[in-house]
Structure 1
Amino acid sequence: MFDVAFSELVVVALVALIVIGPERLPQVARTAGHLWSRAQRYVNTVKNDISNEMDLDAARKMKESLMQDVTAIEKEVQHDISEIKQEVQSAQLTIEQQVLQAYHRVAPPVELPEHAPVVDTPQKSQ
């Protein structure tokens, strides 16, 4: 991460020994180590969060794309269904008309009198 040579680390250690002193140097080094590990964990957490958000964003985009495709297919299917319904209704109407025409050709309409005569028939006694 940082390009630090061994000689530079020795110079930093000597300056720290002189400035902090030999009594407090182990405690300061321990504290610096803890802070460094916390910083690394924080950076790793941020990296993971960013990676997860990117994956989640990609998944959202994929979902939106799929939903658009599904909606387009649904509209197309609904359009096809309505066309088929119209064709079936048209065919049904044509067939009904042809059946009626055939029926009228085969059996001309019979006109019935408005009131049929009532005939009394005698009943036989037993």
Structure 2
Amino acid sequence: MFDVGFSELLVIAVVALLVLGPERLPKAARFAGLWVRRARAQWNSVKAEFEHDLADEDLKRSLRETQDALRDAHASLRNAGSGLEREMHEARESVMRGPQPPAAGAAGAAGAAIATTPVLVEHAPAGVAPSSEQPLSAAEEAEREREEQTMHAPMEDPPPPDDADIDDEVPQR
């Protein structure tokens, strides 16, 4: 703090011994030590309070930054939510309106060409109804009815368990 070396302390001690004398020197040294301790304690208290204030400022700044980030995240989530609500509303309206007729022009002509293309019954995938332009043969009609009945038939109850299985599950007394 004051950069006082051993030689300077020795000179101060000799001068203090000559000025104060051997009787008053121990009392003066205790008094000087007391004041040095008080000064150091005061300095440490001021230093600790200053560091505490700096730490408080850092915490407050960190809290403000976190609150700003939280506000930004909340705003972005709100915007995303409102966008999703808007898309959901538009999708619900389009479902309620039903399918729209194809537009006139090139896209409409292509859609009309696809819709009027005949589908051969023997090349139609399974489960897809052939176009109404071609009648089904009797065998195909019977096969289709059988498939529909198996799809819509109620499930059968499972068979009851064997008596041997029941005996194994019942606890013995």
State how far apart, in whole Å, the 1-side matches of 2:60 and 2:21 are: 56
Partner of 2:104: none
Partner of 1:79: 79
- The root-mean-square deviation of aligned C-alpha atoms, in Å, is 1.9
Aligned counterparts, 1:58-69, within 5 A: 58-69=58-69
What displacement does 1:89 show?
Answer: 1.3
State how many pairs are aligned. 99
State how far apart, in whole Å, the 1-side matches of 2:5 and 2:73 are: 63
What displacement does 1:60 show?
Answer: 1.6
State how far apart, in whole Å, the 2-side matches of 1:76 and 1:6 are: 67
State how far apart, in whole Å, the 1-side matches of 2:13 and 2:6 are: 11
The code of the aligned residue for 2:76 comes to E
Moved more, 21-30 or 32-41: 21-30
Partner of 1:90: 90
Matched, 1:50 2:50: yes
State how far apart, in whole Å, the 2-side matches of 1:7 and 1:73 are: 66
State how far apart, in whole Å, the 1-side matches of 2:72 and 2:64 are: 12
Q: Normalized against structure 2, the TM-score is what?
A: 0.51
Partner of 1:116: none
Q: Which runs of 5+ in 2 are unaligned?
A: 100-173
The code of the aligned residue for 1:22 comes to P
Aligned counterparts, 1:1-126, within 5 A: 1-98=1-98
Moved more, 90-99 or 28-37: 90-99
The code of the aligned residue for 1:64 comes to R
The code of the aligned residue for 2:93 comes to L
Q: Which runs of 5+ in 1 are unaligned?
A: 100-126
State how far apart, in whole Å, the 1-side matches of 2:10 and 2:85 are: 87
Q: Which has the bigger relative contact order, CA under 8 A and spacing at least 6?
A: 1
State how far apart, in whole Å, the 2-side matches of 1:74 and 1:87 are: 20
State how far apart, in whole Å, the 1-side matches of 2:69 and 2:4 are: 54
What displacement does 1:73 show?
Answer: 0.8
What displacement does 1:4 show?
Answer: 1.9
